[in-house]
Structure 1
């Protein structure tokens, strides 16, 4: 006998408690319990629910701490970052200023092209990083303005400088990362008291940067008026062929740069708020918006009886799988090398509930920032023949920041997209690391002065109290560097090794981001042994610790998996742009037209594998009634057809959460969605306090 009340409570717990950021969706009353157990391969699919990791629901959740693979090394043991106390000695020496390291080691006026990979390898790295990590900065206070002080006063941790980039002030502003307020109860007392940094988004490769990490943002991004499962599009502009752009942000006017001689174009809105940082990011976000709507339209044609919620969730499930496939199959082996991929990641063996998929602090703050050294100082815009565009010339990198108007008013996404796949990435060498476009002309939104990305990266690692380069080599089973000669063996350039040793005075003081960046690259990779280890370990955790990984049992049918594996970034570009010839692998640089093929030759996913016949029960009872401010999905896991209702974010369900098809009618009338109830959309320093309060309320309501 099935305990229907407990099963319904289990279901309501899953529906109630949210996305991985633990934001309350709604509270479902214990009305008319039914025999029910949701399966992932039923209609219902959402990454907003707690059911990802049942034993450890906080693993990989948004607004939880970045995990530590090695203990933090704060100067006071708890919260003061490395370099906070300027007279403090580390291994007998003061740490060099990040600005000094940037100027003497990292800054380069010359970059040479990569002879194997296209700039899309760089652009995808930035894009997929925004699906895994987002470290928020602490806000200033009425007492201190971090833009106008050179004192270390929380949350300000300014970078000492000595050149014209920062003007007369003599320092570069720097806000410390926002702290987490969830205590790590499984650690020692000292570690539990240490400051930890928040990852504001889910760690999983789940296309959250397309759909958002909160129900509220997801709701804003959906087209809820069309009842078609699509995402909302821009209602003001379309490209020359009528294809849609991303919608604008809700708060207008926005802070994005404008064409001084043209019509205003505001910041675009997407699942991730960083989508406007540069043109390639805008382009990739636009491509995936169009791909979602293309697939949703096709699924509606194939399954005319599916409602909008089912179409949206099934499409989202497909889009998430494609992000996983492109990243793990096509991207990661190229950056860490096939040998390191097999060593650290290996073949998929199924979901492992003991694997923590949370993003590691060292991955987010150091290892995955390797890509900053592969960025070209020039953004190429190419015409239909993959030559320099006659109307829209190449741009300096700093002219691409926060400038969506250049997409809308300068030829759409195609010129930039051709530039990404048709231009080589910048090769990485120890004496040519960071383009001056990033070290001298970096622009941040709402920051008046130019910034230095290399200095910011080094300071962020110290802010997070990351252990040094040598400690991470030991962590990865690599030999510690004890002498200059030993350092020269692992660094690409002996002169660079000597400069670093001279600056840091002690090899144990070398910042992990710098040390990993200058290592000799592994064969067939774009990283050295340390970063290959750290990135490999992280990617394996993201894959094996995800219950909903596309290859996991019960997620997709074998027929559907066989179709998904045909997916590729090049095919998606073909389907969502005016580009008709592409390289078979968008990450590999080739010569046009010799290394390109027609889009007609690119394999396509046949969505017929998702065809589902209308059930006999649904024929008898009819389609359940749509409700205002909510929707339903169908489940027949226990032999009876059940309509499971839920409300859009901010509304509470009144009435039966689930109705059953019994005989020729539904057991109850549909519920209603009323009222407003939500945590704020913003991320205060202790967002979890509001969240956990609501979780407690939810549990009380469910288990009474």
Structure 2
């Protein structure tokens, strides 16, 4: 049983969905309260106007080619996007029109809340909606913080696999197979792959917007715990892997503990899946991104749950630092056959042809060709003169927006919308030397030509946007980020781990035998167990040549779920299984050496009667409750 400390009770909103992104430095708005940097284009910053984001994108960021990273696979890039969707989601204003004037944000090039359009060279603009503001002011906030606009994180910041299960009771219920009484997740009821393996269910509301991105008929958007699942084929493939892994584990736990209720199977499986997300991210992913030295400095060994640590996602992490991965996006999606060569039936695709295209999964060979491409192709790497490819700066597809968008401009504009302090302010925050001269910048970038272009465009080094500054820094040894982003990502990961009372290593979350088994888990094993792929790199984030640097799935360790075997208690044998109820279920708990059943209702229903019944004198007392419609 978990015990709650005083610190947890005092801070119930830390890390919760629909709370503000935290500020590690105060916001810098043009009016001090909420107007973004660049809202008034004539306003001077350190004596100069800020350069338009589209101009920065076109002249500094856009790249026509990428060089390959021989150390890591494409999967390292794709996992970054995937796990980001477990930590942050900043919603945009739900209003399509400007306040008071009713001006359509898709039609105007004027800055009128919530419209903050991105100006382009042809006197036109790209639509941009400001991020939704948080209205809550926490007790103890200083006056400046209370007055300043803060942005929301719509999902839990914890690494808790919320992108598999959802972050609201309604979505969680939709994603579960409640009728099957199996503890499994719901699967697609129209399509399976060639071997009968399931796909993600379709969205509830059809026809969906995915149909506008395809020529094929009848394939809607997939549904998952995160609404961004359909943005690309690698993202869909990873979501599909974890759907299958949940159902595989749930089935095994049912065989091991046939007395468990569907709710117990679901919750125990969910806890295992969450732990695997934490292990793969913190053990296998983060050290490769920030480097072993920065990992030791900023994250370090786990020493237990700390109720004084706020695990909320920071604004600079969500809006700048963890967007480093945008510079490692490949212009081509590779699809490989069983020999890890280009697939004969399903050739490689330009990236812009893969946006919002779930039909390609269903009708073009399932997830295997895509996953082979993720592990069998070297990752693109960033350098100061090769940042974002044209596929995302000139041809990015965004739902509900007919014109092509520019990811680099969107990132720069979003940082200004959020009032993020500049690059130099964040270097000081991380204990790094300020960039005071062009020579300083050349040293940090290791590219004099790009340093000159940046200074010529920004005019003043304190005006450099933090996302751009962190992006162009030269990599640290054995890392894929420079010192600023290594610091910011490291600090955030430590907070996510140490401030999570349900972190897989925390006391009371798992038994030691279970922890030992969880450490055997890996992304390679998940691929082996849920696809036709039977030869993989030992660490799928590392790039290896096929077949010499691949191993059989038989060589990849598996988690022995026998560690979760729970023997029936004597009381259970005497009382039998508790009463099953409609529209709800129970889990077993132990209280004062007695076995109890704790009932709960599914979304849309409320409990009538005792929530907890206990096995006493060979019977359950009191009688089981009911779930009635709200």
Sort the TM-score into its range (normalised by shorter chain). Answer: over 0.9
1:52, 1:546 within 8 Å by CA — same for their partners in 2? no
Residue 96 (structure 2) pairs with residue 105 (structure 1): no
1:234, 1:244 within 8 Å by CA — same for their partners in 2? yes
Once the two structures are TM-superposed, the CA of residue 39 in structure 1 deviates from its matched residue by 3.4
Q: Distance in 2 between matches of 1:186 and 1:444?
A: 39
Cα-to-partner distance string for 1:326-383 (whole Å, 9 max, x where unaligned): 0000000000000000000000000001000000000000000000000110000000
Residue 116 (structure 2) pairs with residue 161 (structure 1): no
Cα-to-partner distance string for 1:659-701 (whole Å, 9 max, x where unaligned): 111111111111111122xxxxxxxxxxxxxxxxxxxxxxxxx
Pairs within 5 Å for 1:122-161: 122-141=77-96, 143-161=102-120
2:96, 2:106 within 8 Å by CA — same for their partners in 1? no
Equivalent of residue 389 in structure 1, options 336, 343, 346: 343
1:370, 1:527 within 8 Å by CA — same for their partners in 2? yes
2:213, 2:356 within 8 Å by CA — same for their partners in 1? no
Residue 153 (structure 2) pairs with residue 194 (structure 1): no
C-alpha change, 1:85 and 1:454, in structure 2 (3 Å) is same
Residue 9 (structure 2) pairs with residue 54 (structure 1): yes
Residue 164 (structure 2) pairs with residue 205 (structure 1): no
Once the two structures are TM-superposed, the CA of residue 141 in structure 1 deviates from its matched residue by 4.7
Equivalent of residue 386 in structure 2, options 426, 432, 439: 432
Residue 656 of structure 1 is matched in structure 2 by 610
Pairs within 5 Å for 1:76-95: 76-95=31-50
Q: Distance in 1 between matches of 2:534 and 2:612?
A: 47
Pairs within 5 Å for 1:470-619: 470-619=424-573
Cα-to-partner distance string for 1:215-235 (whole Å, 9 max, x where unaligned): 110000000011110000000
Q: Distance in 1 between matches of 2:458 and 2:496?
A: 34
Using the size of structure 1 for normalisation, the TM-score is: 0.88
1:334, 1:526 within 8 Å by CA — same for their partners in 2? yes
Once the two structures are TM-superposed, the CA of residue 115 in structure 1 deviates from its matched residue by 1.4
Equivalent of residue 223 in structure 1, options 166, 177, 196: 177
Count of residue correspondences: 626
Once the two structures are TM-superposed, the CA of residue 175 in structure 1 deviates from its matched residue by 0.4
Once the two structures are TM-superposed, the CA of residue 466 in structure 1 deviates from its matched residue by 0.2
Cα-to-partner distance string for 1:40-62 (whole Å, 9 max, x where unaligned): 8xxxxxxxx99993331100000
1:50, 1:57 within 8 Å by CA — same for their partners in 2? no
C-alpha change, 1:527 and 1:219, in structure 2 (3 Å) is same
Q: Distance in 2 between matches of 1:39 and 1:108?
A: 51
Q: Distance in 2 between matches of 1:89 and 1:152?
A: 17
Q: Distance in 2 between matches of 1:374 and 1:102?
A: 15
Q: Distance in 2 between matches of 1:364 and 1:476?
A: 17
Residue 287 of structure 2 is matched in structure 1 by 333
Q: Distance in 2 between matches of 1:584 and 1:317?
A: 24
Q: Distance in 2 between matches of 1:190 and 1:202?
A: 26
Once the two structures are TM-superposed, the CA of residue 640 in structure 1 deviates from its matched residue by 1.4
Detail structure 1 runs of 4+ shifted over 6 Å in the superposition. 49-52
Q: Distance in 2 between matches of 1:399 and 1:379?
A: 9
Higher relative CO (Cα under 8 Å, sequence separation at least 6) belongs to: 1
Residue 71 of structure 2 is matched in structure 1 by 116
Cα-to-partner distance string for 1:182-222 (whole Å, 9 max, x where unaligned): 11332221220111000000000000000000111000000
SS of residue paired to 2:404: coil
Q: Distance in 2 between matches of 1:318 and 1:474?
A: 39
Once the two structures are TM-superposed, the CA of residue 260 in structure 1 deviates from its matched residue by 5.9
1:363, 1:538 within 8 Å by CA — same for their partners in 2? yes
Q: Distance in 2 between matches of 1:649 and 1:125?
A: 32
Residue 290 of structure 1 is matched in structure 2 by 244
SS of residue paired to 1:449: strand
1:258, 1:405 within 8 Å by CA — same for their partners in 2? no
Using the size of structure 2 for normalisation, the TM-score is: 0.98
Residue 261 (structure 2) pairs with residue 307 (structure 1): yes
Residue 683 of structure 1 is matched in structure 2 by none
Once the two structures are TM-superposed, the CA of residue 568 in structure 1 deviates from its matched residue by 0.2
SS of residue paired to 1:432: coil
C-alpha change, 1:89 and 1:259, in structure 2 (3 Å) is closer
Q: Distance in 1 between matches of 2:213 and 2:128?
A: 29
1:60, 1:203 within 8 Å by CA — same for their partners in 2? yes
2:7, 2:308 within 8 Å by CA — same for their partners in 1? no
C-alpha change, 1:51 and 1:636, in structure 2 (3 Å) is farther
Q: Distance in 1 between matches of 2:7 and 2:173?
A: 21
SS of residue paired to 2:597: strand
SS of residue paired to 1:660: strand
**5+ long unaligned stretches in structure 2:** none
Q: Distance in 2 between matches of 1:638 and 1:552?
A: 23
Q: Distance in 2 between matches of 1:141 and 1:615?
A: 58
